Amino acid sequence: MTNGISANVGKNLALIDGHAVAFHCWYTSDPNEVIEGFIDMLDDSVRKHRATHAVITFDPPPPVFRHHLYPDYKAGRPPVPEGFLEECEELRELLTDEGYVVVEQEGYEADDLIGTLSELAERSGFNTLISTCDLDLLQLVTEKVSAEVFSQYWPTRMFDVEKTVTRFKGLRPGQIADYKALAGDRSDNLPGVPGIGDVTATVLLREKGSIEAIYQDLESVSDLPMRGAVRTARVLGENKEQAFLMKRLTSIVRDVSLDVNLESAALRVAA
């Protein structure tokens, strides 16, 4: 493993969704393993994107604050494979020994740490690349923040603002949390608002912009040019508390208190 890059103009931060990469490596290797695949993916991301800095984030043991708000959050997921967590712990020790900044925060998921660090990085003049398998993180995409999304089922995809808008049928990155709050998110066991599906959620947000704006003028939803507009307005009125709870759950936190200095995440320059 090399903690090193070629000389490069500007500051480029690689933010790695640690457990997402680890799970990907586990399920795409035979026999199942984490460490070798993770290091290969990390080195490849640093090299391809000319990263000058890197931070690897990990999820803490549950519960996180979302479980306290909604106890069924992520319920029904299969148990972690035997041996996986032990390998992740070995990996973290190896990364730390190699000089990488590794971050975990009790009560918050890696997504929230990535959200906080990407916002800090943008304010600090970095270009940021997020490496993940989680489309939820596309809500963080800006002109200075892009995302590399990998999967065991399809080739790795790169998302900037334009490609994110295309993927979400015209919705901007900042509307993704609203979309998932309305339509639900099966992967996190979030039901959304009863009776609001993908199409309705998309139309509502194209027309109104956000959940807050929808409820500021709820009566006008009945007049929107979509099938079932009157019923949709009624359903929204009956489930206002649910809608705002779902948005709290689907929104990535961007102000977690972290003791991280991005400059300390600088990678050593390769010889």
DSSP 202-270: HHHHHHH-SHHHHHHTGGGGGGSSSTTHHHHHHHHHHTHHHHHHHHHHHSPPS-------GGGGBPEEP
pLDDT tier at 241 (50, 70, 90 boundaries)?
very high
Helix (H), strand (E) at residue 127: strand 127-132
pLDDT tens for residues 146-173? 999 999 888 999 999 999 999 999 999 9
pLDDT score, position 7: 39
pLDDT tens for residues 66-118? 999 999 999 999 999 999 999 999 999 999 999 999 999 999 999 999 999 99
Record the pTM: 0.94
Q: Is the N-terminal amide bond of 61 cis, ω within 30° of 0?
A: no
pLDDT at 5 over 70: no
Q: Which one, of 6, 16, 7, 149, lies nearest residue 95 by Cα?
A: 16
Dihedral of the alpha carbons of 250, 110, 254, 114, in degrees to the nearest 10: -120
